[in-house]
Amino acid sequence: MTAPAATRQRAPVVLLRPVPGDSVIHRLWAGTKLIAVAEIGVLLTFYPGWVPIGLVAALILTTARLAHIQRGALPSIPRWLWILLFLGGATATFAGGSPVIDLGSVELALGGLLAFLRITAVSIVLLGLGAMVSWTTNVAEIAPAVATLGRPLRPLRIPVDDWSVALALALRAFPMLVDEFRVLYAARRLRPKRVPTTRPARRRRWALKLLICSPLGSQSRCAGPTKWAMRSPPAVAPVKSPRPRRGRNGPTGWHCRSWSSCVPSR
């Protein structure tokens, strides 16, 4: 028997869990980090140019190097997100705008594509800032820092203490909520597939498989369903055979005349 192929596991998203370390960034006060993130966010809101984006990206990389953040802390990007980004960029290209590139008799306007790339870069930079605060700051230090920063607002009858307590509870509960959703998703993936119980449902299922397989006419693509029909273990025999019949090779209920045609036995 051959060993099953090892599947590459994606790195999970680590939120609100600091990376262990004793660097300068780790020892920095949480309020200082929050003020820096707020100021950089305001800067990128009013000046979302490529130069500010590049400077903030360089600041994030320098901070990550000082904090000794390993590359393994970065989450893996799913394939569907790359597809959405590609579709978004292709759609934004039709918006037009300067600059315009002449390709023979065709004029290609790249203004919409550049605007989409700039917005995407700003989003990535802001996510990087939040990740740096999450990786280098203990969750228990954020709520007292917010209460200290909001102290000048207390004479205005603003409930700063209530806000800090609510923020502390939310930050404490959010990682547990993410873990619960991850467990539920894993349990859902382990659920067995729904087996059709009625004869029409089983016939529709097999008709769909044969409809996909028959136009191809190649043994490499059709060998899988046909071999599964001819050599199935007893556990899946009731699924494919409404009337199992004992034979030399076990319970079989289908006769395969060729690679692309299988008919039920009567």
> What is the pLDDT averaged over residues 7-27?
73
Could you tell me if 120 and 229 lie in one domain? no
Assigned domain for 2 exists: no
pLDDT at 218: 44
Q: Does 184 score more than 70 pLDDT?
A: yes
Q: Which one has a higher pLDDT value, 234 or 138?
A: 138
Q: Does 91 score more than 70 pLDDT?
A: yes
Could you tell me if 53 and 179 lie in one domain? yes
Beta strands in the chain (DSSP E): 100-103, 106-109, 254-256, 262-264
Assigned domain for 58 exists: yes
> What is the pLDDT averaged over residues 254-265?
49
Q: Does 47 score more than 50 pLDDT?
A: yes
Could you tell me if 238 and 157 lie in one domain? no
Could you tell me if 205 and 183 lie in one domain? no
pLDDT at 239: 41
Q: Does 228 score more than 50 pLDDT?
A: no
pLDDT at 230: 44
Could you tell me if 233 and 173 lie in one domain? no
Assigned domain for 72 exists: yes
Q: Does 56 score more than 90 pLDDT?
A: yes
Distance (Å, whole) CA 102 – CA 32: 49
Could you tell me if 183 and 87 lie in one domain? yes
> In the structure, what pLDDT confidence band is assigned to residue 234 with cuts at 50, 70 and 90?
very low
Could you tell me if 167 and 206 lie in one domain? no
The angle, 0 to 180 degrees and rounded to 10, between the axes of the packed helices 50-66 and 30-46 is: 160
- Full residue range of the structural domain in which residue 258 is found: 200-264
Assigned domain for 253 exists: yes
According to DSSP, the residues that pair with 109 across neighbouring strands are 100
Distance (Å, whole) CA 225 – CA 236: 13
Least confident of 44-58, 68-82, 190-204, 249-263: 249-263
> In the structure, what pLDDT confidence band is assigned to residue 97 with cuts at 50, 70 and 90?
confident
pLDDT at 14: 59
pLDDT at 227: 44
Distance (Å, whole) CA 123 – CA 117: 10
Could you tell me if 60 and 154 lie in one domain? yes
The answer to whether 171 and 12 have CB atoms below 8 angstroms apart is: no
Could you tell me if 138 and 251 lie in one domain? no
> What is the pLDDT averaged over residues 67-95?
85
Could you tell me if 181 and 260 lie in one domain? no
Q: Does 118 score more than 60 pLDDT?
A: yes
Assigned domain for 12 exists: no
Task: Please give the torsion angle defined by the CA atoms of residues 149, 153, 158 and 163, in that order, rounded to the nearest 10 degrees.
Answer: 0
pLDDT at 243: 46
Q: Does 137 score more than 80 pLDDT?
A: yes
Number of domains in the chain: 2
Distances in Å between the alpha carbon of 79 and those of 82, 84, 86, 128, 190? 5, 9, 11, 20, 21
> What is the pLDDT averaged over residues 57-62?
93
Last-in-domain residue among 167, 190, 213: 190
The CB density around residue 50, as the number of other CB atoms within 10 Å, is: 11
Distance (Å, whole) CA 255 – CA 111: 61
